[in-house]
Structure 1
Amino acid sequence: MSALHERLLAGFGSAFGGNPDFVVRAPGRVNLIGEHTDYNDGFALPVAIGVETRIAVRPRPDRLVRSVALDFDGEVDGFWIETPIRRAEGAGWRDYVRGSVDVLARRGFGHTGVDMAIAGDIPKGTGLSSSASLEVAVCHAMLAAAGHDDVPATEIALMAQEAENDFVGMRCGNLDQIASAATQAGAALLIDCRSLLLEAVTVPDGTAVMIVQSGVVRGLVEGHYNRRRAQCEEAAAALGVKALRDVDLAGLEDGRACMPEETFRRARHIVTENARTLDAAGALRAGDLASLGRLMAESHVSMRDDFGITVEHTDRLSAILAKAIGERGGARQTGGGFGGAVVAVMPVEIVERVREAVLNGYRTPDGGSPLIMIEQASAGAGLLTEAR
């Protein structure tokens, strides 16, 4: 039994007494390429990773939802399932739970009250989708408690996204929730964020995914994420298209005079990133890590120069990784931006050499060594076969 699972069961027993009836899990994710493309109806290529959120659940005979957050000093929340459910005092993790339950209730799911303990090992504020993982896990927990075990993964992901958009106030696209809900072990997931067509793209054997935390913790709701989305919508409107998915680089150049220069640059990142993502999926299918690496490098430059979401520390970290990896893979900032993590892809046999280069060449803002995670593509969310 993992340390996370032991902590979860102990926390449940301490808060509610006895044992849970079942446990659900939802993984974090790292996006190999395709940044900010999801809310532009574009393409993304994430993988689920080994860190995750777990929720121990016991249904109640009433409509009360009681939850304890073991990662936040055992903070508790309790509310009755009503429509609509109100935002919590102090917000934070509570609103991700409340928002998810609210969406389920309004969709006719999840009217059963529960006691649930929540724990995870996804680093917070680092671009690995701890919030999406929590939302997807809560949706699974509530659906299972109410006996709804046949809801498709994509529908669960969209309900989780709705909770973050409409309840929390973060206007994210659907990438993070789909990646947590619908990925397959051993494969990246090529997502067409408009049609919701999903393709599992096998990660070649012997390939490692390295995630290095820059130490710059970001907060997207308080930051510039919503502003970037508004600029993309402004560009699409100026071009007369539904979304930037519907324009190529030549068409964007033709419409350059119709928008402010900064808005044009934001749009150029999206248009070129969509093309890079499709090419990257092809490179991964072919086992061509050199081509994938070049595309990842181009993505980082585009995020830096056109979309304006990298920071000095992630620029430096990406450069260190790229130099150490050479032509055997690549690196780029991942996640919503303004800090967080850098992702790198490489053969397993050079992992230790690359790790040493990072530890020798990079320090976090507080002067410490960065957290380095070595991951493989993991399975999406679901019910654990054993609760205890």
Structure 2
Amino acid sequence: MTMPRVTLEELYGVDPERLAAQDARRAMGARHFRSTYGRDPEAVFSAPGRIELLGNHTDHQGGQVLATTIGWDVLAFAAANEEKVVRLHSNAYRDAFTLWLDDLAPLPEERGRVAALIRGVAAGLAARGCGIGGLDLFFASQVPIGGGLSSSAAIEVLLGRLFHELHGSGDLSCGELARVAQDAETNWFGKPCGLMDQLVISHGGLIALDFANPDEPGVSLLDVAFPPPDKCMILVQTGSDHEGLDAAYASIPQEMGALARALGRRRMRDVSQPELLQAMPKLRQTLGDRAVLRGLHFLDEQERVVRGTAALKRGDWETFLSCTRESGVSSHAWLQSSFLDPESQGISLALYLCRSFFEAGTAGGWRVHGGGFGGSVLALMESDRVEPFRRLMEPVFGKGAVREVQIRRHGVVRLNG
């Protein structure tokens, strides 16, 4: 795949205030790069965060997902060097660091750190014969770390394109890049994950994904206005992040997988609801109620992805909102991904407040966003209801907790100029 090159207007829209802010951000990053490395950056790249709209914890079981890239991104100011070393400075990390590329094996002491992602992406590209080399980098990120917007996937995919654009040879498809990124996160960074985040960020846009064939997932770009005119998409950041929750995330695919195998199937995609219901008495004894409930969530969520995607294609906003609300209830009650600590239930509280707000007369949808256990709640509403919604939420979760999010049509790109 040839790296797309875009203008600021193509990436961030034509709103003068937003363009001015992004122009200033780009100038800031270039200044930091010059002051750090004593030269101008060779290129500037952008990788978006992503939002999952429907399909919560379905990709790892061969399911379907509806997701989109968003306007919040990571900007990378980059130049190649001849030393086979990656130097990284960033506004998002406390410490700068230097990583030599002579040894690309996973290091236990790097697990959970950005250095592990760099080493893992470099190893994946080298194994595919794509070519790697030294990079001087400055990252300027708008994607919150631990907020459920796939900041780690954005960095992984961005690193893959940086290596390939400045040192690589041959072609590197979006699918190959996504697999390199997923492998880096799972086996170097130490966080088990599906392929959804990396695929969405690699391709860009509003995307329907089907993981029936995990080696070649189906990727369909939806050419629809989302959200529709006079509607908006809001994230409520609850103040609890995803850090340190790897075991909680891992329990979901583990339990769903065990449920499928107990039914003689490889994954939940191959299980029907009637056979699960028939086997439920035995499954409760052998695997426990939570595994059964998580399997039921998967089966219902698949139907919601299909129904919600079809609704968007025909412009049926109300049905899509209904699917969103159903997904939120299912993730909270059956998937059980809202909290671990009974004393810290920001997601649950935000869901309750959303229900109260919308049942008071405002049409909208709301759901647990992303991996769960912390992070954000997604809400969809009429544009003129954002300020009343903000007045309800921000006294509870803090100033700035309610943020409107724009979708983005591009995956990883190189900026012109």
Q: Say whether the fold is shared (TM-score over 0.5).
A: yes
Could you tell me how far 1:310 is from its partner in structure 2? 0.6
Greater alpha carbon shift after TM alignment, 232-241 vs 188-197: 188-197
**% identical aligned pairs:** 26
Give yes or no for the alignment of 1:211 onto 2:229.
no
Give the aligned partner of residue 157 of structure 1: 178
Query: In 1, distance between residues paired with 2:128 and 2:158?
Result: 17
Give yes or no for the alignment of 1:348 onto 2:366.
no
Ranges in structure 1 where 5+ consecutive residues have no aligned partner: none
Could you tell me how far 1:137 is from its partner in structure 2? 0.7
3-state SS of 1:2 partner? helix
Could you tell me how far 1:319 is from its partner in structure 2? 2.9
Give yes or no for the alignment of 1:103 onto 2:133.
no
Q: Match for 1:119 among 129, 137, 140?
A: 140
Give the aligned partner of residue 151 of structure 2: 130
Give the aligned partner of residue 3 of structure 2: none
Query: In 1, distance between residues paired with 2:126 and 2:193?
Result: 21
Mapping of residues 21-170 of structure 1, within 5 Å: 21-84=42-105, 86=107, 89=110, 91-148=112-169, 150-170=171-191
Give the aligned partner of residue 10 of structure 2: none
Could you tell me how far 1:64 is from its partner in structure 2? 2.1
Give the aligned partner of residue 337 of structure 1: 372
Give the aligned partner of residue 197 of structure 2: 176
3-state SS of 1:123 partner? coil
**Any idea what the Cα deviations from partners look like across 1:163-203, whole Å, max 9, x if unmatched?**
1111112111011111211122xxx2111123311122222
Could you tell me how far 1:31 is from its partner in structure 2? 1.0
What amino acid is aligned across from residue 235 of structure 1 in structure 2? L
Mapping of residues 364-383 of structure 1, within 5 Å: 364=397, 368-369=398-399, 371-383=401-413
Could you tell me how far 1:44 is from its partner in structure 2? 0.9
Give the aligned partner of residue 253 of structure 2: 229
Give the aligned partner of residue 263 of structure 1: 291
Query: In 2, distance between residues paired with 1:2 and 1:149?
Result: 32
Judged with a 3 Å threshold, the aligned counterparts in structure 2 of structure 1 residues 87 and 149 are, in CA distance, closer, same or farther, namely farther
Give yes or no for the alignment of 1:290 onto 2:318.
yes
3-state SS of 1:378 partner? coil
Give yes or no for the alignment of 1:194 onto 2:212.
yes
What amino acid is aligned across from residue 314 of structure 1 in structure 2? I
3-state SS of 1:377 partner? coil
Give the aligned partner of residue 347 of structure 2: 314
Query: Is the 8 Å Cα contact of residues 4 and 121 (structure 1) preserved in structure 2?
Result: no
Give yes or no for the alignment of 1:302 onto 2:349.
no
Greater alpha carbon shift after TM alignment, 190-199 vs 87-96: 87-96
Judged with a 3 Å threshold, the aligned counterparts in structure 2 of structure 1 residues 107 and 147 are, in CA distance, closer, same or farther, namely closer
Could you tell me how far 1:76 is from its partner in structure 2? 1.6
Query: In 2, distance between residues paired with 1:127 and 1:330?
Result: 18
Judged with a 3 Å threshold, the aligned counterparts in structure 2 of structure 1 residues 128 and 149 are, in CA distance, closer, same or farther, namely farther
Query: In 2, distance between residues paired with 1:19 and 1:105?
Result: 27
Could you tell me how far 1:15 is from its partner in structure 2? 2.2
What amino acid is aligned across from residue 405 of structure 2 in structure 1? E
Query: In 2, distance between residues paired with 1:148 and 1:331?
Result: 44
Judged with a 3 Å threshold, the aligned counterparts in structure 2 of structure 1 residues 24 and 87 are, in CA distance, closer, same or farther, namely farther
3-state SS of 1:28 partner? strand
3-state SS of 2:373 partner? coil
Could you tell me how far 1:251 is from its partner in structure 2? 2.2
**Any idea what the Cα deviations from partners look like across 1:53-76, whole Å, max 9, x if unmatched?**
121111122422222233223522
Give the aligned partner of residue 20 of structure 1: 41
Query: In 1, distance between residues paired with 2:320 and 2:247?
Result: 30
Could you tell me how far 1:235 is from its partner in structure 2? 0.8
Judged with a 3 Å threshold, the aligned counterparts in structure 2 of structure 1 residues 35 and 148 are, in CA distance, closer, same or farther, namely farther
CA RMSD of the aligned region, Å? 2.2
Count residues with an aligned counterpart: 379
Give yes or no for the alignment of 1:241 onto 2:265.
yes
Query: In 1, distance between residues paired with 2:41 and 2:406?
Result: 30
Could you tell me how far 1:348 is from its partner in structure 2? 2.7
Query: Is the 8 Å Cα contact of residues 107 and 188 (structure 2) preserved in structure 1?
Result: no
Ranges in structure 2 where 5+ consecutive residues have no aligned partner: 1-21, 340-344
Query: Is the 8 Å Cα contact of residues 238 and 255 (structure 1) preserved in structure 2?
Result: no
Give the aligned partner of residue 416 of structure 2: 386
What amino acid is aligned across from residue 383 of structure 2 in structure 1? V
Could you tell me how far 1:85 is from its partner in structure 2? 5.6
Query: Is the 8 Å Cα contact of residues 232 and 263 (structure 1) preserved in structure 2?
Result: yes
Query: In 1, distance between residues paired with 2:292 and 2:59?
Result: 18
Query: In 2, distance between residues paired with 1:87 and 1:142?
Result: 23
Query: In 2, distance between residues paired with 1:149 and 1:353?
Result: 52
Query: Is the 8 Å Cα contact of residues 210 and 373 (structure 1) preserved in structure 2?
Result: yes
**Any idea what the Cα deviations from partners look like across 1:343-382, whole Å, max 9, x if unmatched?**
11223343333333333xx513xxx335222122202333
- Using the size of structure 1 for normalisation, the TM-score is 0.90
What amino acid is aligned across from residue 210 of structure 2 in structure 1? D
- Using the size of structure 2 for normalisation, the TM-score is 0.84
Query: In 1, distance between residues paired with 2:118 and 2:314?
Result: 41
Query: Is the 8 Å Cα contact of residues 191 and 246 (structure 2) preserved in structure 1?
Result: no
